A and B are shown apart, each in its own frame.
Chain A
Amino acid sequence: MTQLSLDAGTPVSISSRIRTLLKRWPVGSIAILIVLLVLGVFAPFLEPHNPDTPQIMKAHRPPVFLGGTWDYVLGTDDLGRDNLSRLISGARISLLVGFAVVLGAGSIGTVLALLAGYFGGIVDIIISRMTEVFVAVPFLLVAIAVVGAVGASTTNLVLTLIFMTWAGYARVLRAEVLRLRELEFVKLAKVAGCSNMRILFHHILPNIVNPLVILATLQLGATIVIEASLNFLGLGVPAPQATWGGMLAAGKNYIGFQDSLVIIPAIAIFLVVLSINLLGDWLRLRLDPRFRQL
């Protein structure tokens, strides 16, 4: 009996294994996002201090690496609130808004794309023109107008963002549905006696899941940036709730005096959005057949 041992004589060193792992998986992104998720989900238990209670006597303490104390690791802001706690609390808001918006806009966009791509004709014309209009609208202006009209709240922020981002999904996925619609398995499903709804949701929808996942991931990053921008402008989640954008806005008055107030939330936004985008790109390489190496 001979034994098959294909990799005998080629011991794989630990460092080269790690290198392959790093090449195959976006380890950095995933690690950062896991930290973000944990912080967001368990925020109330992880915050060392109450993020929203001002303590004027403790205002403007520097972070520990700039001569502060371990009691307030990232220092305190102008009202004496703990920066670390506010960062954690803000992570929760970013995640909540990000996921709610992606879920809402993704569902609306997907359903409209299915209808437009599959039925064609007048349905397609109406949905496609609507999509084009929404893609062309200057987003921030509309957001300012909407919040000005209905008032700033988390719900309004989410609804505005959904309202403004569904079109991106609809446009990309419609093209995919158009392609799938012409394939013969759809014709055969019709021949087999499937109803239109069954063809749409049972045969076509699973085939657009890959582009949908890629799109949703990239959109999550974009949503977090937009959410931060709106909060920066005071058009998002009302105070005193901590948000990364709000922290930036409050900190900008102290640039030169206490730079860490701006730099810390900026780094948080940067790292999270970068990680999400890298993950999205990696997903695209993995899932999009056009990039798949044969």
Chain B
Amino acid sequence: MTQMSGQPALLEVKNLRTYFRTRAGVAKAVDGVSFSLQQGRTLGIVGESGSGKSVTMMSIVRLIAKPAGRIESGEILFEGKDLLKLTDEEMRRIRGDQIAVVTQDPMTSLNPVYSIGNQLEEPLRLHQGIKTKSVLRDKVIAGLRRVGIPAPEMRVRSYPHQMSGGQRQRVVTAMALECHPSLLLCDEPTTALDVTVQMQVLRLLREIQREQRLSMIIVSHDLAVIARVCDDVAVMYAGRIVEKAGLVSLFENPSHPYTKALMRSLNGETDGKGRLHAIEGQPPDVRQIKRGCPFAPRCREAMDICTSEFPPEVVLSPNHTTSCWAVSAKIGSGPR
């Protein structure tokens, strides 16, 4: 996202569109998303349910439910290669090796019929071709120790149902990190956990990310989670990124009306009658988005042009862009 000096981005997503064909019409789940991610940085993607954040993530590893879903256009450059142009076989070699994923639900993310040791060996066998039982065991135990599972020598023989949600999430994290990926994608990594455990898992992710100079993308609907681990934030609404900024810049100076509304509802401010701020209306149905800015119907600052044309990206600072007609009007580059 930050177009900073020289260093090429590890991941660059350009104008990504992922559509789902349903009986009720085409759902434009991701509709022209672009961002880039430097080595060793963490990008948070926030948005409501259905804003396309998870689909963006799954598009990067090309795991979109076929045949309904399809990546229509765009480029996903990972270390300079366009992932969308790779064959399935080449993609399979990258997944789990250079790009790993941590999923949302620790209850279903481990196979109930295998011990966790057994499951953790799988990526090592598949990607590193290690066959020796004792080597595999040692690596698995080291991996579990790194994510803070107590007594890993014993735990490798446990089955998923014998572990708590937080521990399972650690196991899933260990599995993701086994092959030393350069990019880690976390889809709502803490949503299914209770608050105290959330903190632990976030701290763990942060530590590992720093230690290994890992690049991470964290998708969440929870701004608090984003604030705790991310360097940069992208706010998604109805399949588009409406604002991108460095963490501090976004929180101190939110510019898009949707971001501002999110912040208001986060801060626990009340509206005089003692009620929390909510954003009026509902997010749009992504199957029926009309022209213009998708947030316009709920926006307090909407103008005429908002309903007819999607706003171009306005650069507020080198590290902060937004797509809003009202903002561009304010800073003078106004509607052309």
Q: If A193-B92, A193-B95, A195-B92 touch, does A188 touch B127 (CB 8 Å cutoff)?
A: no
A259: min CB distance to chain B, Å: 52
Residue contact A188 to B93, C-beta cutoff 8 Å:
no
Binding site for B on A (CB under 8 A): 120-121, 183-185, 187-195, 203, 206-207, 209
Residue contact B108 to A189, C-beta cutoff 8 Å:
no
Residue contact A207 to B113, C-beta cutoff 8 Å:
yes
Q: Is the interface of A mostly helix, strand, loop or mixed?
A: helix
The closest CB in chain A to the CB of B111 belongs to A185
Residue contact B172 to A188, C-beta cutoff 8 Å:
yes
The closest CB in chain B to the CB of A186 belongs to B111
The closest CB in chain A to the CB of B101 belongs to A191
Residue contact A193 to B97, C-beta cutoff 8 Å:
yes
Q: If A121-B67, A184-B103, A207-B113 touch, does A190 touch B108 (CB 8 Å cutoff)?
A: no
A192: min CB distance to chain B, Å: 4
Residue contact B175 to A188, C-beta cutoff 8 Å:
yes
Given A190-B63, A193-B97, A194-B126, 4 new contacts (CB under 8 A): A184-B108, A185-B110, A193-B93, A195-B92
A181: min CB distance to chain B, Å: 10
Residue contact B63 to A187, C-beta cutoff 8 Å:
yes
**In the bound complex, CA of A190 to CA of B119 (Å):** 13
Residues of the A chain whose Cβ atoms lie less than 8 Å from the Cβ of B110: 185
B112 interface residue, CB < 8 Å from A?
A: yes
Binding site for A on B (CB under 8 A): 61, 63, 66-67, 92-93, 95-97, 100-101, 103-105, 108-114, 119, 122-123, 126-127, 172, 175
Residues of the B chain whose Cβ atoms lie less than 8 Å from the Cβ of A206: 111, 113-114
A173: min CB distance to chain B, Å: 15
Residues of the A chain whose Cβ atoms lie less than 8 Å from the Cβ of B126: 192-194
Residue contact A190 to B95, C-beta cutoff 8 Å:
yes
Residue contact B108 to A191, C-beta cutoff 8 Å:
no
**In the bound complex, CA of A120 to CA of B69 (Å):** 13
**In the bound complex, CA of A191 to CA of B177 (Å):** 12
B69: min CB distance to chain A, Å: 12
Residue contact B95 to A188, C-beta cutoff 8 Å:
no
Residue contact A184 to B63, C-beta cutoff 8 Å:
no
Residue contact B111 to A192, C-beta cutoff 8 Å:
no
The closest CB in chain A to the CB of B91 belongs to A193
**In the bound complex, CA of A209 to CA of B119 (Å):** 18
Residues of the A chain whose Cβ atoms lie less than 8 Å from the Cβ of B92: 193, 195
Residues of the B chain whose Cβ atoms lie less than 8 Å from the Cβ of A195: 92
The closest CB in chain B to the CB of A203 belongs to B111
Residue contact B100 to A191, C-beta cutoff 8 Å:
yes
**In the bound complex, CA of A206 to CA of B115 (Å):** 13
